[in-house]
Structures are given as C-alpha cells and as structure tokens.
Amino acid sequence: QVQLVESGGGLVQTGGSLRLSCATFGRTVSTYIMGWFRQAPGNERAFVAAVAYSGDTMYAESVKGRFTISRDNANNTVYLQMNSLKPEDTAVYYCGVTTGRLSIATRMPRTYSFWGPGTQVTVSS
C-alpha cells in the first residue's frame, strides 16, 4: 500500500504562483512515475504533469511553460510549481503513482494505482 498526501493549495490571484507538494508513505515509490491531475466541478479528472524516476517529464499542453514538476527521490516527494496561474487552473489537484515508462497511458487516470485526497487550488480573476 501507498499513501499520498497533497499540500500547498490555496487561493491566489491571476498571475500568481503556488507550489504543490505530494508526500508518499508506505511502500517506496522512488522508482515509480508520479503524476499530477486536476478535476474541476462537473469535469473529469485531467492530466497535468508527470515525472519518471529518471527525471524525464511530461506536461499537458495547457500548462507547458507555466508549470514545472519535480521530484525528490530520497524523500519520496513530488512537487508542482505553478506560475502565471489563470482562473481556468482552478480545480482540486491530485497526485498519483503508477509504474512503467512515460507514455500516452501516463495521461490516463485509470493507469494510476494510488491517489491522494487532493488539494484545492482557486485562482481569482
């Protein structure tokens, strides 16, 4: 079993920044892919970014150039630095863990075995 806990969400104005963290507990996940997804009310959970153990990354087009995902393998923690935030970034942000290599499947929620409870990000206009 793996437990994940997200933190760092909050209320920010358009153009502001937030840094999300996701700490993992239980089974060591340092060799796993760790990903961030988000879900706005009435929408499905959508891929944001993922990072492999090697440090290779993958981003959704909507966040490229504004968000940066990184990980600390020694501490089993993944981060999401979010800059130039827009109202459309408002959502609950979830981190998840999966195995394998970065691929099209990495963008699909069903690929992930474990999830955190989420953290709310609200961007005001």
Q: What is the pLDDT of residue 31?
A: 76
Question: Can you list the positions of beta strands (E) in the chain?
Answer: 2-7, 10-13, 18-26, 33-39, 46-51, 57-59, 67-72, 77-82, 91-98, 114-115, 119-124
Which among 103, 107, 113 is positioned nearest to 4, based on CA atoms? 113
Burial of 65-84, coded b for 16+ CB within 10 Å and e otherwise, reads eebbbebebeebbbbbebee
Average pLDDT of every residue of the chain: 95
Percent of the chain with pLDDT over 70: 98
pLDDT of residue 74: 87
pLDDT in tens, 70-119: 999 888 899 999 999 999 999 999 999 999 899 999 999 999 999 999 99
